[in-house]
Chain A
Amino acid sequence: QLQLQESGPGLVKPSETLSLTCTVSGGSISSSSYYWGWIRQPPGKGLEWIGSIYYSGSTYYNPSLKSRVTISVDTSKNQFSLKLSSVTAADTAVYYCARLHNPHKTTSGYYFDYWGQGTLVTVSS
């Protein structure tokens, strides 16, 4: 059974960089069938897609966050990571990592079939 687990600091100071890692177990991050992604959810609000990465390193980012986001992959550790720079209180959220799948290989068919449990990151001094 595939499992994803987020890890990283739960508290980040304003203007600093938020760094999270997602460790994938029960499957290979190097599979050509999947992308891997980050989604966040501010307290009491909805889901926001942050970005996604392929095992080769190809990335897609939310335009509203693109200038501050970097997503990378480490296939040797079966992990992918998120860095969000210059954070403010508005970046306080539960951050989820998830697997992105599209078995029909349609242009608009990607969906998130496995999710991590999420980790709360608070931005505060």
Chain B
Amino acid sequence: SYVLTQPPSVSVAPGKTARITCGGNNIGSKSVHWYQQKPGQAPVLVIYYDSDRPSGIPERFSGSNSGNTATLTISRVEAGDEADYYCQVWDSSSDQGVFGGGTKLTVL
């Protein structure tokens, strides 16, 4: 089955840029979606189709996808961005939803 690999943790100072990667075999050929999950809450979609933002998600959140790596970029990081972030694809070869292992973003 398809595997998505994320770093367990990323740390960034307030006001700086955070980049969270999601690795997968030829992931650039798939659509990648990203979710933010704060403690005790359900995940929230922050990026879909690699780089689209749902309404209500700040422009500071952006995404890219090429080759074997997709990236979620959070600009001008705020304390409120501290959360777990998950990438997700739909593996059409096996008709399965697949999540990455998640990355804990810490704002220093």
Contacts and interface: CB of A to CB of B under 8 A. Distances in A.
Are A and B associated in one complex? Answer: yes
Interface of A: 37, 39, 46-49, 52, 60, 62-63, 96, 100, 102, 104, 106-113, 115-118
B97 A37 contact: yes
Given A63-B1, A110-B90, A96 B42 contact: yes
Interface centre among A39, A110, A111, A117 (most CB of B within 10 A): A111
B54 A109 contact: no
Nearest to B37: A47
A63 B97 CA distance: 11
B23 interface: no
A112 B87 CA distance: 11
Contact of B42 (A108, A110, A117): A117
B98 A49 contact: yes
Chain B interface residue number, banded: 20 to 34
Interface stretch (B11-19, B27-35, B66-74, B75-83): B27-35
Contacts, number: 72
Contacts of B49: 104, 109, 111
A37 B35 CA distance: 16
Interface in B88-102: 88-92, 94-102
A49 to B, nearest CB: 3
Given A47-B37, A49-B99, A96-B43, 11 more contacts: A47-B86, A49-B97, A60-B95, A107-B90, A107-B92, A108-B90, A111-B31, A112-B35, A112-B97, A113-B54, A115-B43
Interface of B: 1, 29-31, 33, 35, 37, 42-45, 48-49, 54, 86, 88-92, 94-102
A52 B86 contact: no
A94 to B, nearest CB: 9
A111 B102 contact: no
A23 B86 CA distance: 25
Contacts of A46: 86, 99-102
B90 A112 contact: no
A108 B89 contact: yes
Given A47-B43, A96-B42, A116-B42, A111 B99 contact: no
